[in-house]
Amino acid sequence: MPKRRSLRMLLFVAAAAVLVFSFRFGFADAWVDQYALPASSWSELSELPAAAAPAVVKPKADPGPDIPLKPQAVVLSQRVTEYHISVALDEQAGSLTGVQTVTWKNPGHKSVSEMYLHLYPNAFAPGSTFIKESKGQLRGDKMTAGGYGSMELTSLRTEQGETLLPRLHFVQPDDGNKNDRTLATFRLPEPVKPGSSVTLRMNFTVQLPDVFARMGKAGEFVMAGQWFPKVAVYETAGMRGRANEGWNLHQYHGNSEFYGDFGIYSVRIDVPATYKVAATGFQTKSPVVSGGRKSLQFYADDVHDFAWSASPHFEYVEDSFSSPGIPGVRIKLFLDPLHMHLKDRYLHAAKSALAKLGAWYGEYPYSTLSVIVPPANANGAGGMEYPTLVTAAAAQDDNPGYELERTLVHEIAHQYWYGLVASNEFEEAWLDEGFTSYSEDKLMASIYGVVPNLPIEASYMTNPEPLNLSSWRFSSSDGYAENVYLRGKLVLSSLERQVGDKMMSKILRTYFQKYKFKHPSASDFQKVVETVTKTKWTDFFQAYVQRGEMADFAIDSITTHKTESGYESLVLVRRYGGSAQQVSLWLQFQDGQSVRKKWDGVQTHVQLKLQSETPLVYAAIDPSLNVVLDNRRYNNYLQAEVPKEQRTRFASGITQIIEGLFGTMVW
């Protein structure tokens, strides 16, 4: 008995120490006062417009979306950052005014003297790298004349009140464009030691652009994505293969998306009282309504970003859902009125996608999933992913086809590869987009029976490039889209064809479970593949990820001549590109006999000698179209009777015709 009492006492002391330690770094603040701003920040709210700090009155609860929830005290990530933000929307000016307190904990083993902030809205200012590279358009949507956006830090102070704004300057590590103001740095008064933290207070304003690329305003609709000053990621040694710890620093580019640390977000949003608000996480209080405005408090933990959208025209629909891998989720639809009659299609797609993803890869750990359907004039805000919040395709048609479901399941699949695994989309975008596109195909086939035509899709690949290129290093925006989305998906499909469906499912589940909340690299994925299959895949990853190749198996030549006993044929088979993999051969003879053979593809070429009673008519390689990365299938078949000179001219002519045709079909 004395030993047990001693053990209990030790456990009590340890628990108390853990509690004190959590307050030491400020992370326990999120559980205090129903997740409002820290008490020390309330004095700063007077700097916002009066509408941003309404008088506390008994709220009139709006129907549906404003029902508060309570979080579960389970820590899933490292929680490097903690944000407390209060933001007010000026709907007339199309602007945001915000106050932010952010605490950053040093995850490394060295002291840090410099801090870096992403000021993403400056991508929409004249002369920015984003506008230069995108030429003011993205995914078919164009920037309206004069519809610029921007962000300004109006105050930057330490917790003790020391101003740091004079130290702030903008940096352009990727292209040296002095007009780009999307990445800023400043020196701290004191270095942040390993394991210690620093708290910064800042005021900021955002001019929302006319929406054409992910964020902005369109009439009374607002999409606030990447809208607050965001701390860059400090990577530790060994993370994503990094030799030395340090900041991961990139500007906002025409092709790139985002990369952030996991943390806690407590966000108060002030909007006109008639607006409905969709946001990352969930609401923790009933709205406070006063003077024609309302203030809503949201909370999210173990996420690496926070986005929100608001409109007085949203039609709200909610349903609860649970299944194996999905403990319980409130699915919240914020629909454009044109699509209100399609609510069942949206709910079915969301529920089905969550159920499949939960069963295939692992648990969805959040309690909400919000789906926003933008209006037709905000198409650029559609088809985008944020933690626990996605935007569907804009409501441009009252009777859309399967593009409704395809867009939605794609964005929900992002909740796993973007939201939870959280790859670096600046440097290895395919680890999100390629994996998501692969999952999208699986979801569409499993739920709706819509099966992709991979051989046709492979034929679109006219300019393969390495997948490990930084997003802005691709030859063009089309090259980025082709490789990151399409070829990335085909690489995974090729791997699946070689290992089988069950093994591929095991690979992806293992990868997800091992690296959720971890920011893995392509090398980390390769290690998982090799561990699960117990096979080396170095050649595969070098060919398709690092060198940017496509597969190309061909019947190079056929020579047939008469012998005393019949005919002898020599068939030269060649692998022009890609890594070795087993491939089938079909050999057809004049008397109707056929022969199937297998070639391991290890050598670059092999010659087959065939003895037969009748002449060989033709040979075909990969007749079942199993090599999904082969984009030059015109050389997979060859007739034996075509003279060599004529065959060469014929093959060359077809090559030019097909390559020219495919070149006009690339998006």
Query: What phi and psi, each to the nearest 5 degrees, are found at residue 133?
Result: -75, -40
Q: Is 84 annotated as a binding residue?
A: no
User: What is the distance, to the nearest Å, from the Cα of residue 608 to the centroid of all Cα atoms in its chain?
Assistant: 46
Closest CA to 466 of 482, 448, 454, 445: 482
Distance CA 103, CA 114 (A): 14
At 481, is the secondary structure helix, strand, or coil? helix
At 627, is the secondary structure helix, strand, or coil? coil
CB environment 84-97: b (16+ within 10 A), e (fewer): bbbbbbbbeebbbb
User: 315, 411, 425, 482: which one is catalytic?
Assistant: 411
Distance CA 203, CA 229 (A): 9
Q: Is 605 annotated as a binding residue?
A: no
Distance CA 470, CA 255 (A): 9
CB environment 176-213: b (16+ within 10 A), e (fewer): ebeebbbbbbbebeeebeeeebbbbbbbbbbbbbbbbb
Distance CA 225, CA 121 (A): 9
Q: Is 564 annotated as a binding residue?
A: no
> Are the beta carbons of 313 and 347 closer than 8 angstroms?
no
Active site residue 485: yes
Active site residue 427: no
Distance CA 624, CA 515 (A): 35
Beta-carbon contacts of residue 283 (< 8 Å; ≥ 6 apart): 65, 66, 67, 68, 69, 296, 297, 298, 299
User: 35, 346, 418, 485: which one is catalytic?
Assistant: 485
CB atoms within 10 A of CB 535: 11
Which residues does the annotation place in the binding site for Zn(2+)? 410, 414, 433
Catalytic residues: 411, 485
Which residues does the annotation place in the binding site? 410, 414, 433
